Amino acid sequence: MPPENSTDKPSVEDRLLASIDLIDAAQACALLRIETNDPEGAMQAMACEDAIITLTRNDRTMFPLCQFDVANGRVFDVVGAILENKPARISNLMLCYWLTRAHVDFGCAPAQRFGHDDLAILAAFRRYIEPERHG
């Protein structure tokens, strides 16, 4: 009988990361039409400016595909607005979980509405991050 706490089980983080379409720095640069010999450096610079969401999988920096406006070669504007509002207590993984799961306001994941319902997405995110007050 296998042990109940088997180390072969994927962690919650691994399962979440597996459920999100991720691309590497070279692919992100290609989508953004950035020509560079250092795609990792270019994408890290964007991450430092809170212009793009990053995640780490297998010790590699990866980027959720949903944040890219592929047709126009850019990151959706709402991503920057969300990152500006994101409190430190919310990790990028938690943010991506929220963005990629069905939401009652949209009938689908907020990320699926990027570029169409940006103000509503930002309002829903602000409600999500509002601290709970008991009284």
Query: What's the pLDDT tens digit per position in 77-110?
Result: 999 999 999 999 999 999 999 999 999 999 999 9
Please give the Cα distance from 62 to 10 (Å, whole number): 19
- Chain centre distance of CA 100: 8
- Average pLDDT across each block of 10 residues of the chain; the chain has 135 residues. List them in order: 62 86 96 96 94 94 96 96 96 96 95 96 95 71
Which helix (H) or strand (E) is 22 found in, with range? strand 22-23
Q: Where are the domains of the chain?
A: 13-129
133 phi and psi angles, rounded to 5 deg: -120, 125
